Structure 1
Amino acid sequence: MNLKIFWSDFIDLIFPRCCEACDRSLVGNEELVCTSCRISLPRIEKHSVHIDLLKYKFITIPEVLSVQSFLLFTKKGKVQKLLHALKYRGNKEVGILLGSMFGQEMVAERILPKAELIISVPLHKKKLSKRGYNQSDLLAEGLSNATDIPWSGTVLARTRFTDTQTGKSKKERQENVSGVFVVNGEFKKKSVIVIDDVLTTGATLEACVEALKIAGCEEFHILTIAVAQH
């Protein structure tokens, strides 16, 4: 037996690595998420009712040319567990993995939007300091790795700290983030992808788009790792 494989198996026996989605032990070359979960994660299917719902999220903003989500978010489901590991348990690699998986599948299905830059939704510096990283940056990095579209986590800035969007109506969410984003410096890109973790009402992403429009951007593609089931 190859000594490297033997040593790896021994380490796994003493300190088992577990799937971030189902808690089962990882085996062999599996990393972060087991093969079974990678295959069975609830994708948004092409003819799903969720596709139609996504189209109407940003219907009042004609500059938003496409909206795509990768997975379906359900309470206590595997997707929630993965995003919880990313946002609250410090597992940055989960974000890069999810962004990369999303990008790889869009490339394979030939549905990757044409854009000059991927832009992540920023955190306020107070929350960034507390968490230590922005989960959307990691998603953008993974997406960029899989698609070769460059990404930036510094184009947009959040100018004030806002209450959590959880539990708010769409109108309350819109009011909560109205005018909260600004573009840093001079910005000359025409077509961009804006990426975030979960799409609910779309209020935060709308506010990002409005800030970018003011800066002169003309075309937008919205990508999220998950869409919330209502």
Structure 2
Amino acid sequence: MLELTEEQFDFYKRNGYVFLEPLDASELAHFKELYHSDRSNFGWSWYTNSCQTINCDSLMTTPEFDGIIRHPRVLNALEDLMGAPACFSEICIRHMTAFDGEPDKGGWHRDRPHWLEHPLRIDYMQLMVYLTDVDESTHCFAISPEAFDDEILEIEDQLEKRGEVDIHGPAGSLVLFNMSHVHRAHQRVTKKERHTLQIYYGHLERPFLSNDSIIPAQFWRDHEDPEVRKFYGKLNAKTELFLDDLKSKD
């Protein structure tokens, strides 16, 4: 194991998610500053998605988010679970505002099917980073626990049989989970905001996840470290489209 303890690894196998050691105070302050700066300076890149506002091009608007995307503790834990080094897929930084209406009771989903050829059925993973304290009085992330060898059920059957867990934790909490497992943003009546960084990873040999995030050339083409270029080098169609358009203007 590079990062996870046997206890953490076993917990993940039984549940499909795992808490990592949280960010320290200086790291948390740094990423909170980046988050608020991005919202302030690049509000035009944020858009409404259900009960959240999000910026999925935040690596373009704030390249310093590379520091959390490639945090050594995160990459090592991913390699423990995925069995090989991961690659970047997407980053969406998200804001949930105070709310006093009727909370959405739905929203449960699986982002992608399970990859059954993988020992832990992992195709893509997500890192959830809480930048604000999250508890029973706030919005939160929720997941329905699923072991790596459980029968794969339809969403309603999964929730009925295995229930749901609200993921609470202080600002700086880091949670990795399999995107194939049933999860949602749990909206609550609250006077508090929730701020998160949500980062998505995949296998180098698998297809890219989505077209949500442009991957800046400073990472996949121009970075001096070949490992960084490789990590960011699985370009999605959105990035390729922008590249083609720029080339046509040369």
What's the TM-score bracket when you normalise by the shorter of the two chains? 0.3 to 0.5
RCO greater where, 1 or 2, for CA within 8 Å and sep 6 or more? 2
Point out the structure with the larger helix share: 1
